[in-house]
């Protein structure tokens, strides 16, 4: 019987980018967070004398050949484990195909989970979870985070990942405009900005190391670190509500460096963030930001009512699809992955 897997979206709670390295890549520091919103990936697989992979989707924009990350990770896994199999993959898209939510990368991990379930891979390999993470890192920078789920620290190009203490499930509004953002162009604009500011690789490496320590300390501190909201709202709550609020807020020092180069090119995205944030109002977001290089943006809220108010505000911006979802902690992400 085929295995059906939830393929969750992600947001970047924060994203700091270093100056370009000699190899053309950039050192990154980010905190990933998985969301309830998801695609479905269905996998059927059986041993065969020769490997064959077939991929289909309900969305014509999804590649159905070896360009697809789900195809790539299945092919690499079978090759690495020296297994031949007939594999069928179906991707039921509900997430945007592009937009900074990691949908394609999540599809890859979902396909891998389906494959390992179908072929009972984990029971045959003692170090399979570690091998899964290694294979994921060879497919794409965003893929390994979905091998962990919940709140995840990403380093290097984002593919070096470590689990952080989870934030408590929090209401989230994801806004996806029709305007597209080119990630390669965003990096080129960032390089130009670094050059204008005289930011060297050495200087940015020091900044990223300092921020990495700050992230680790803040998330580990629980009640008093990165996860605390403003005191005016906190003092109106008591008991368990107050402790939950402390764990679900985001300090203002978390930011996304891409906003410095993407917003000037796409002013509409800056306006969407302003509407999501609603600073100074009772429905203000705990945190609002661009996710990755965009074009998706998100806001985190204390209540569903505040999230619904954000969706209503976004109605004044044309061509923006807004969805209400919640963040997913690791303790929920894995038990509910296979449908």
Domain membership flag for residue 21: yes
Q: Do 234 and 133 belong together in one domain?
A: no
Percent of the chain past pLDDT 90, that is, above it, reads: 68
Active-site entry in 10, 72, 93, 273: 10
Tell me which of 119, 151, 166 is where a domain ends: 166
Residue 231, pLDDT score: 39
Domain membership flag for residue 338: no
Domain membership flag for residue 336: no
Q: Do 79 and 108 belong together in one domain?
A: yes
Closest CA to 289 of 117, 33, 47: 33
**pLDDT tens sequence across 161-178:** 999 988 889 999 999 999
Buried/exposed code over 138-166 (b: 16+ C-beta within 10 A; e: otherwise): ebbbbbbbbbbbbbbbbbbebbebeebbb
Q: Do 159 and 187 belong together in one domain?
A: no
Q: Do 158 and 234 belong together in one domain?
A: no
Output the CA torsion 275→279→281→286 (10° steps): 90
Q: Work out the pLDDT band at 80, boundaries 50, 70, 90.
A: very high
Domain membership flag for residue 321: yes
In degrees, rounded to 5, the angle at the alpha carbon of residue 316 between the alpha carbons of residues 326 and 314 is: 10
Domain membership flag for residue 22: yes
Q: Do 123 and 184 belong together in one domain?
A: no
Q: Do 154 and 181 belong together in one domain?
A: no
Q: Do 257 and 143 belong together in one domain?
A: no
**pLDDT tens sequence across 312-323:** 999 989 999 999
237 has a pLDDT exceeding 60: no
Domain membership flag for residue 67: yes
Residue 230, pLDDT score: 43
**pLDDT tens sequence across 263-285:** 999 999 999 999 999 999 999 99
Closest CA to 41 of 72, 11, 70, 66: 70
- Report the mean per-residue pLDDT for the chain: 88
CATH (domain of 33): 3.30.230.10
Percent of the chain past pLDDT 70, that is, above it, reads: 90
235 has a pLDDT exceeding 80: no
Domain total for the chain?
A: 2
What are the residues whose beta carbons fall under 8 Å from the beta carbon of 164, sequence distance 6 or more?
31, 150, 151, 152, 153, 215, 216, 219, 220
Q: Do 139 and 31 belong together in one domain?
A: yes
Tell me which of 148, 166, 184 is where a domain ends: 166
Active-site entry in 39, 93, 142, 257: 142
Residue 149, pLDDT score: 96
Q: Work out the pLDDT band at 65, boundaries 50, 70, 90.
A: very high
Domain membership flag for residue 337: no
Alpha-carbon span 15 to 293, nearest angstrom: 9
Q: Do 155 and 17 belong together in one domain?
A: yes
Residue 22 belongs to domain spanning: 3-166
Q: What are phi and psi of 214, to 5 degrees?
A: -65, -45
pTM of the model: 0.89
Domain membership flag for residue 15: yes
**pLDDT tens sequence across 215-225:** 777 777 653 33
Residue 224, pLDDT score: 34
Q: Do 206 and 145 belong together in one domain?
A: no
CATH (domain of 256): 3.30.70.890
Is 257 annotated in the active site?
no
Residue 252, pLDDT score: 58
Is 191 annotated in the active site?
no
239 has a pLDDT exceeding 60: no
Q: Do 183 and 157 belong together in one domain?
A: no
Q: Do 24 and 130 belong together in one domain?
A: yes
70 has a pLDDT exceeding 80: yes
pLDDT higher at 36 or 201: 36
Q: What are phi and psi of 27, to 5 degrees?
A: -70, 135
Tell me which of 166, 186, 209 is where a domain ends: 166
């Amino acid at each position: 019987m085929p295995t059906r897997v939830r393929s969750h979206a992600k947001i970047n709670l924060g994203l700091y980018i270093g100056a370009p390295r000699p190899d053309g890549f950039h050192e990154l520091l980010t905190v990933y967070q998985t969301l309830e919103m998801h695609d479905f990936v269905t996998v059927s697989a059986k041993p065969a004398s020769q490997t064959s992979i077939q991929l289909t989707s309900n969305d014509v924009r999804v590649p159905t050949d070896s360009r697809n990350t789900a195809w790539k990770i299945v092919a690499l896994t079978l090759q690495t484990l020296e297994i031949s199999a007939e594999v069928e993959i179906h991707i039921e898209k509900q997430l945007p195909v592009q937009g900074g939510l990691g949908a394609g990368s999540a599809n890859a991990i979902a396909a891998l989970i389906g494959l390992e379930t179908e072929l009972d891979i984990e029971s045959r390999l003692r170090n399979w979870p570690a091998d899964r993470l290694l294979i994921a890192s060879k497919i794409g920078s965003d893929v390994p985070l979905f091998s962990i789920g919940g709140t995840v620290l990403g380093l290097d190009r984002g593919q070096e990942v470590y689990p952080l203490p989870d934030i408590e499930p929090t209401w989230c509004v994801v806004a996806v405009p029709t305007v597209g953002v080119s990630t390669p162009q965003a990096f080129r604009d960032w390089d130009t900005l670094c050059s204008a500011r005289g930011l060297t690789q050495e200087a940015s490496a020091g900044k990223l190391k300092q921020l990495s320590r700050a992230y680790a300390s803040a998330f580990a501190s629980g009640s008093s670190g990165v996860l605390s909201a403003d005191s005016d709202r906190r003092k109106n709550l008591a008991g368990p509500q107050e402790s939950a609020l402390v764990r679900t807020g985001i300090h203002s020092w978390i930011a996304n460096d891409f906003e410095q180069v993407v917003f000037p090119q796409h002013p509409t995205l800056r306006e969407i963030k302003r509407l999501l944030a609603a600073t100074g109002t009772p429905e203000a977001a705990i945190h609002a930001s661009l996710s990755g290089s965009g074009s998706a943006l998100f806001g985190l809220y204390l209540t569903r009512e505040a999230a619904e108010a954000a969706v209503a505000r976004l109605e004044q911006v044309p061509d923006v699809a807004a969805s209400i979802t919640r963040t997913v902690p690791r303790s929920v992400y894995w038990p509910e992955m296979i449908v």
